[in-house]
Structure 1
Amino acid sequence: MNKTIILLMLFLFIPSCGWQLKGNNYLSPDIENVDITVQSLDPQIKIKFKSILDRYMISNDPSNEKKFRVTLSEFEENKRIASINSTGRASEYRLNMTVTYVVTNLQEKKIIDTNKISTEEVYEFSQENILASWEEEQKLKSDLIENLLSQLFRKLNFLLN
């Protein structure tokens, strides 16, 4: 009996503290009414954005049934040295990504004017294992793009609700 009560309390308290799995974002069911267009970006970046949108099952095909259109443009990616080691070489890099977006209705009236969202992360660079550091950087870039889209989805959820 006590185990059942403790288990029931855990099921109640863990979600109420705000804990959730990474990447488990709540998306409004109305997100299907949003047309997301990726324009004037590097082809590799476009592919990354579209693959993440597909993972969230959001169609980026233009349609007249959609209520809003989100246009992503002006993608900026910066890589800077965050810290150096005792020999004067870079030991950490800071990656920063910014994307400009605008939300319009189908009559091209701006709902949210041109706005930017950005995210950044620091990662360690190992001189001894350059390939692993490069792979970590590529994984981090994908995570940053997913973070940018998560920020955008949160803003769209606010707009849709």
Structure 2
Amino acid sequence: MKQLLIALVILTTTACGWQLRGITQLPASVQVMTLESQAGNRFTQRLKQQLTFNGVVFPSDGSANVRLMIAPISIERLTLSVNSRGQAAEYELNAELNVRLIQLEEGTDTQWIITGRRIFSNDINSVIATQSEEKIQREELENDLIRKLMNRLKKAQLK
């Protein structure tokens, strides 16, 4: 009876499309690739980790037919609002990531511009708190860019 119950639970969860968070079913055409990133080391490591977690293999001999090229991330900080004393009350971070997905043998070249936005408050009484919040928001913004890139790769139709 216990085995039947376990089998029923497994069947139910797989039938409804449930999957672990962070798993993206990438098409077979992007399962073997070369990653060329000019983004920061931390971003590149997290991206490579996410791709590996989702089944992508990076051959060391350069035999991959697919090349993923990541340009440096551009993050711009803007003052969103000011308080009555003319001091910045809120900041906005806008990020832009340029990505190219190239299939070498077929000669296809797909380009994406992935954007993200975060808003955070400026604590005028604690500069350290504001700096800490900005660092957290930058990391979350980079995580958002990775998630959006994974979704684009999921929908990539390479021939």
TM over 0.5: yes
- Counterpart of 1:139 in structure 2 is 136
Separation of aligned partners in 1, 2:115 and 2:23: 20
Separation of aligned partners in 2, 1:35 and 1:106: 11
Separation of aligned partners in 1, 2:97 and 2:51: 21
Count of residue pairs brought into register by the alignment: 140
- Counterpart of 2:153 in structure 1 is 156
Decide which moves more: 101-110 or 69-78: 101-110
Contact 1:102–1:110 (CA under 8 A) maintained in structure 2: no
TM-score (norm 2): 0.72
TM-score (norm 1): 0.71
Alignment of 1:8-19 (within 5 A): none
Return the offset for 1:91. Answer: 0.6
Identity within the alignment, %: 18
- The amino acid of 1:28's aligned partner reads Q
- Counterpart of 1:47 in structure 2 is 41
- Give structure 1 stretches of 5+ with no counterpart: 1-7
Please state if 1:128 is matched with 2:122: no
Contact 1:32–1:66 (CA under 8 A) maintained in structure 2: no
- The amino acid of 1:135's aligned partner reads S
- Counterpart of 1:4 in structure 2 is none
Contact 2:32–2:58 (CA under 8 A) maintained in structure 1: no
Can you list the C-alpha shifts for 1:132-159, whole angstroms capped at 9, x where unaligned?
Answer: 1101111111111111111111010111
- The amino acid of 1:27's aligned partner reads T
Separation of aligned partners in 2, 1:127 and 1:60: 46
Distance 1:63 1:92, change over 3 A: farther
Return the offset for 1:123. Answer: 0.3
- The amino acid of 2:67's aligned partner reads R
Can you list the C-alpha shifts for 1:101-136, whole angstroms capped at 9, x where unaligned?
Answer: 111013482341x32111011000101111111011
Please state if 1:38 is matched with 2:48: no
Return the offset for 1:34. Answer: 3.1
RMSD of aligned alpha carbons: 3.0
Please state if 1:81 is matched with 2:83: no
- The amino acid of 1:126's aligned partner reads D
Can you list the C-alpha shifts for 1:38-86, whole angstroms capped at 9, x where unaligned?
Answer: 03x4xxxx21212312442536665544342110114211000011111
Match of 1:91 among 86, 89, 92: 89
Can you list the C-alpha shifts for 1:5-56, whole angstroms capped at 9, x where unaligned?
Answer: xxx9xx98xx88x9x99xx3232254542332103x4xxxx21212312442
Distance 1:63 1:156, change over 3 A: farther
